[in-house]
Amino acid sequence: MENNKNTLLYNVQKTGFALVEANLYLDVYPESEEALQYFYDMRTKYDEAVKEYEAVCGPLTASANTSSHWDWILTPWPWELGVN
Protein backbone atom coordinates (compact mmCIF):
# COMPACT_ATOMS: atom_id res chain seq x y z
CA MET A 1 0.00 0.00 0.00
CA GLU A 2 2.83 2.41 0.87
CA ASN A 3 4.34 1.85 -2.57
CA ASN A 4 1.02 2.79 -4.17
CA LYS A 5 0.86 6.00 -2.10
CA ASN A 6 4.38 6.90 -3.19
CA THR A 7 3.49 6.24 -6.83
CA LEU A 8 0.37 8.39 -6.57
CA LEU A 9 2.31 11.21 -4.93
CA TYR A 10 5.03 10.94 -7.57
CA ASN A 11 2.38 11.35 -10.29
CA VAL A 12 1.08 14.49 -8.57
CA GLN A 13 4.59 15.91 -8.32
CA LYS A 14 5.53 14.97 -11.89
CA THR A 15 2.44 16.47 -13.49
CA GLY A 16 2.60 19.50 -11.18
CA PHE A 17 6.18 20.16 -12.27
CA ALA A 18 5.21 19.89 -15.95
CA LEU A 19 2.31 22.28 -15.35
CA VAL A 20 4.56 24.91 -13.74
CA GLU A 21 7.14 24.57 -16.52
CA ALA A 22 4.45 25.00 -19.17
CA ASN A 23 3.22 28.08 -17.30
CA LEU A 24 6.72 29.57 -17.31
CA TYR A 25 7.16 28.80 -21.01
CA LEU A 26 3.87 30.51 -21.79
CA ASP A 27 5.02 33.58 -19.86
CA VAL A 28 7.80 33.95 -22.44
CA TYR A 29 5.92 32.65 -25.50
CA PRO A 30 2.24 33.53 -24.91
CA GLU A 31 1.31 33.06 -28.57
CA SER A 32 2.38 29.40 -28.70
CA GLU A 33 -0.76 27.38 -29.35
CA GLU A 34 1.19 24.14 -28.93
CA ALA A 35 2.42 25.22 -25.50
CA LEU A 36 -1.07 26.33 -24.50
CA GLN A 37 -2.49 22.94 -25.48
CA TYR A 38 0.30 21.23 -23.54
CA PHE A 39 -0.56 23.38 -20.51
CA TYR A 40 -4.22 22.36 -20.73
CA ASP A 41 -3.26 18.68 -21.11
CA MET A 42 -0.96 18.85 -18.08
CA ARG A 43 -3.61 20.67 -16.05
CA THR A 44 -6.08 17.87 -16.78
CA LYS A 45 -3.50 15.21 -15.88
CA TYR A 46 -2.55 17.10 -12.71
CA ASP A 47 -6.19 17.39 -11.63
CA GLU A 48 -6.67 13.66 -12.27
CA ALA A 49 -3.51 12.77 -10.34
CA VAL A 50 -4.59 14.89 -7.36
CA LYS A 51 -8.08 13.39 -7.41
CA GLU A 52 -6.68 9.86 -7.51
CA TYR A 53 -4.21 10.58 -4.70
CA GLU A 54 -6.86 12.14 -2.48
CA ALA A 55 -9.27 9.24 -3.07
CA VAL A 56 -6.69 6.81 -1.68
CA CYS A 57 -4.60 8.88 0.74
CA GLY A 58 -6.80 11.76 1.90
CA PRO A 59 -6.54 15.48 1.26
CA LEU A 60 -3.32 16.68 -0.34
CA THR A 61 -3.81 20.24 0.90
CA ALA A 62 -5.83 21.67 3.76
CA SER A 63 -8.18 23.38 1.30
CA ALA A 64 -9.08 19.96 -0.15
CA ASN A 65 -10.64 18.83 3.12
CA THR A 66 -14.31 18.23 2.29
CA SER A 67 -15.59 16.06 5.12
CA SER A 68 -17.63 17.30 8.05
CA HIS A 69 -14.61 16.89 10.34
CA TRP A 70 -10.97 17.97 10.03
CA ASP A 71 -9.33 15.04 8.15
CA TRP A 72 -6.34 17.10 7.09
CA ILE A 73 -4.47 16.43 10.31
CA LEU A 74 -4.89 12.65 9.97
CA THR A 75 -2.64 12.34 6.92
CA PRO A 76 1.14 12.09 7.35
CA TRP A 77 3.21 15.23 7.07
CA PRO A 78 5.66 15.32 4.14
CA TRP A 79 8.62 14.46 6.40
CA GLU A 80 6.72 11.46 7.79
CA LEU A 81 6.31 9.75 4.42
CA GLY A 82 7.95 6.37 4.39
CA VAL A 83 8.13 6.19 8.18
CA ASN A 84 6.36 3.20 9.73
In contact, 78 and 3? CB cutoff 8 Å: no
Per-residue pLDDT of the chain (84 residues), as tens digits, is 567 888 999 999 999 999 999 999 999 999 999 999 999 999 999 999 999 998 988 888 777 767 777 766 776 776 776 655
CA distance 16 to 48: 11
pTM: 0.78
CA distance 80 to 32: 41
pLDDT number for residue 21: 98
Name the burial class of residue 5, with classes exposed (0-12), middle (13-18) and buried (19+) by CB atoms within 10 angstroms of its CB. Answer: middle
